[in-house]
Amino acid sequence: MNLDGMDIYFEISNKDILVDFLLAEGYNDFYYFPCKRYGAGAFLVSAQEQVSARAEFGMFRLFLEREQVIVLAESIKNQLIGKTIRMYTYGVSEL
């Protein structure tokens, strides 16, 4: 089966908001991975982040039909305005 993988990266403070949003939209099969965003600049808010050059992030991974990816991405963009969220998609095949 050919699907698209969708990775949603977000500031950890937005995790519960995104979980509630995904479940409310009917997406109940996804994966969560804790991760860190490394770099320098304005996104490093706290003193700890500035010293370590990393911020706490999370990632949800979903496997959806292409049309569902487009609908979900648009919904996230429209409903969660102002949140630090990045989305990426790529083709995958289930073995």
More reliable by pLDDT, 83 or 63? 63
* Tens of pLDDT, residues 14-40: 999 999 999 999 999 999 999 988 865
- Can you give the pLDDT at residue 57? 93
Per CATH, the number for 2-93 is 3.30.70.120
More reliable by pLDDT, 1 or 66? 66
DSSP 13: G
Q: What percent of the chain has pLDDT over 90?
A: 67
Give exposure, 22-57, as e/b (b: 16+ Cβ within 10 Å): beeeebeebeeeeeebeeeeeebeeeebeeeebbeb
